[in-house]
């Protein structure tokens, strides 16, 4: 796919996802309570944090490499999977402490269920990254839109039948599951048994500065949600998070679309 077509489908995918997300969330906002969105914002804050740690810039490393071997993909896959399993167990163990911090016992089980999405995402890192490397943004567009539509419809049905906050939790898990299944259908990948752990140092050397930059940006953008949720409660955070998310989505979708293609330009120029 040419650079122009890649950029076009990257923008189309992000804009389409924005509208689908926006429409489904308007419908869900009419059914669910603000406190439900507040609880989900609390959960998402911690899950996104662990997802940031889990990613560690590994996908970006593969994207910017001129040549990617099967052995390198296997190394990234196994390292990411093992690290993700460790973080999943950590989330499972500390979820009662988070629930106690916010004085809401429901957060324990909700965080543990939502963490499944975090674990599923780790499995499909290679198919997703390889589609980006191949500039196949048309298939990535199909993946994201299909997963968002399926998860959104299921969430609306669950919310309509009184599942409350669980409809948002299962929406996140189902989105990750559908995304992973469709990615493997488009870009099959079977990890090998031989792992070249000696190359891990080179991967970490590239990924660490990128990770640290994202780490700092994360805290600058999310510390407000932690404070609002703790001091004012889930209901107030629900109103705040809905407004903040809608305000940020246009900018985030444009930057995401451009960033994906710019990484490819870096790879070409190296």
3-class SS shares of the chain: helix, strand, coil, % to 5 = 85, 0, 15
Residue among 154, 155, 153, 152 nearest 164 (CA): 155
- Helices first, then strands: H and E counts in the chain: 10, 0
Which pLDDT score, from 0 to 100, does residue 118 have?
80
* Top-ranked range on mean pLDDT: pick from 12-26, 195-209, 234-248, 253-267: 12-26
Q: Are 148 and 17 in contact (CB under 8 A)?
A: yes
pLDDT in tens, 197-252: 777 777 777 776 666 666 666 666 666 666 776 676 666 666 666 666 666 655 55
Residues belonging to the chain: 270
Contacts of 46 (CB under 8 A, 6+ apart): 91, 98, 111
Residues 6+ apart with CB under 8 A from 79: 58, 200, 203
Top-confidence range, 18-32, 125-139, 169-183: 169-183
Q: Please, what sign has the CA dihedral across residues 176, 181, 185, 191?
A: positive
**Average pLDDT of the chain?**
80
Highest mean pLDDT among 9-18, 177-186, 220-229: 177-186
Query: What percent of the chain shows pLDDT beyond 90?
Result: 26
Q: Is residue 184 pLDDT above 60, yes or no? A: yes
- Please tell me the predicted confidence (pLDDT) of residue 249: 58
pLDDT for 162: 92
* Confidence at residue 254, expressed as pLDDT on a 0 to 100 scale: 53
Angle of helix 125-133 versus helix 70-101 axis, rounded to 10: 120
What is the CB neighbour count within 10 angstroms for residue 147? 22
Tell me what pLDDT residue 170 has.
95
Spatial separation of the C-alpha atoms in residues 85 and 91, rounded to whole Å: 10
Q: How far apart are CA 260 and CA 62, in angstroms?
A: 12
Q: Please state, in angstroms and as integers, the Cα–Cα distance from residue 109 to each residue in 112, 128, 166, 222, following that order.
A: 5, 29, 10, 22
Q: For 218-229, how does the pLDDT look when each residue is reduced to its tens digit (9 = 90+)? A: 666 666 666 776
Q: Please report the sign of the dihedral spanned by the C-alpha atoms of residue 123, residue 127, residue 129, residue 132.
A: negative
Tell me how far apart the alpha carbons of residues 188 and 137 are, in angstroms, rounded to a whole number.
16
What the block records as the tokens of 238 is: 């629900």
Tokens coding 142: 């199909």
Residue 95: pLDDT over 60: yes
Which pTM value belongs to this model?
Answer: 0.80
């Amino acid at each position: 796919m040419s650079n122009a077509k890649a950029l076009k489908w990257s923008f189309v995918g992000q804009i389409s996802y924005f509208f689908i997300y926006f429409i489904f969330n308007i419908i869900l906002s009419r059914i669910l309570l603000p406190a439900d969105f507040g609880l989900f914002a609390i959960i998402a804050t911690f899950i996104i944090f662990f997802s940031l740690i889990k990613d560690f810039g590994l996908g970006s490393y593969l994207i910017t490499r001129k040549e990617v071997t099967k052995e390198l993909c296997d190394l990234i896959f196994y390292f990411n999977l093992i690290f993700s399993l460790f973080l999943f167990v950590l989330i499972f163990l500390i979820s009662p402490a988070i629930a106690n911090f916010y004085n809401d016992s429901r957060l324990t089980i909700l965080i543990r269920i939502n963490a499944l999405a975090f674990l599923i995402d780790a499995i499909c890192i290679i198919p997703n990254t390889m589609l980006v490397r191949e500039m196949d943004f048309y298939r990535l567009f199909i993946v994201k839109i299909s997963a968002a539509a399926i998860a959104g419809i299921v969430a609306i049905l669950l919310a309509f039948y009184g599942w409350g906050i669980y409809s948002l939790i299962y929406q996140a898990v189902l989105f990750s599951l559908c995304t992973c299944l469709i990615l493997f259908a488009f870009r099959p990948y079977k990890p090998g048994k031989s792992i070249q752990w000696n190359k891990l140092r080179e991967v970490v050397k590239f990924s660490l500065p990128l990770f640290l930059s994202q780490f700092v940006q994360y805290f600058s953008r999310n510390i407000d949600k932690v404070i609002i949720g703790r001091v004012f409660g889930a209901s107030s955070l629900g109103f705040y998070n809905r407004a903040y998310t809608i305000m940020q989505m246009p900018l985030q979708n444009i930057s995401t679309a451009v960033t994906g293609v710019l990484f490819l330009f870096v790879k070409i120029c190296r």
